[in-house]
């Protein structure tokens, strides 16, 4: 809020909640509906995961195992075989 010079009233308008709700959040209360937080993220181009957890959801930090289903095949010792059949569901 400081970085964007936002008041509690402005945050409440963006999120569509009352000023008292924003005050509760600032006092440590958890939001009941995360879609209101998503509105705030969209408004200020803030990463949703980072805002909630402090961790970025940067795709560059993902390994191939996070994206693809990988099966080890002992017949390919010392060789690399890359075959993408489908993305792994999360």
pLDDT for the residue numbered 48: 81
Q: Is residue 24 in a domain? A: yes
Question: If pLDDT is split at 50, 70 and 90, which confidence band does 85 have?
Answer: low
Rounded to the nearest integer, the mean pLDDT of the chain is 76
- Residue 47 falls inside a structural domain: yes
How high is the pLDDT of residue 23? 93
Residue 18 zone, left/alpha/beta (φ > 0; ψ -120 to 50; rest): beta
Q: Is residue 13 part of a domain?
A: yes
- Is residue 40 in some structural domain? yes
Burial of 8 (0-12, 13-18, 19+ CB in 10 A): middle
What is the three-class DSSP state of 39?
A: helix
pLDDT digits (tens, 9 = 90+) for 24-68: 989 988 888 888 888 888 888 888 877 777 776 665 565 656 656
Locus of tokens 């569901």: 89
More confident residue, 44 or 77: 44
Is 35 within a domain?
yes
Task: Please give the tally of structural domains in the chain.
Answer: 1
Q: What is the pTM of this model?
A: 0.54
| Residue 61 domain-assigned (yes or no) | no
In a domain, 26, yes or no: yes
Which alpha helices (DSSP H) does 1-90 contain, by range? 8-15, 19-26, 34-44, 48-53, 64-67
């Amino acid at each position: 809020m400081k970085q964007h010079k936002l008041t509690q009233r402005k945050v409440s308008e963006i999120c569509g909640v009352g000023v008292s709700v924003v005050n509760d959040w600032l006092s440590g209360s958890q939001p009941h509906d995360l879609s209101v937080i998503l509105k705030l993220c969209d408004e200020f181009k803030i990463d949703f995961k980072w805002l909630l957890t402090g961790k970025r959801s940067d795709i560059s930090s993902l390994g191939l195992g996070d994206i693809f289903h990988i099966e080890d095949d002992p017949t390919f010792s010392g060789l690399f075989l890359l075959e993408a059949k489908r993305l792994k569901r999360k």
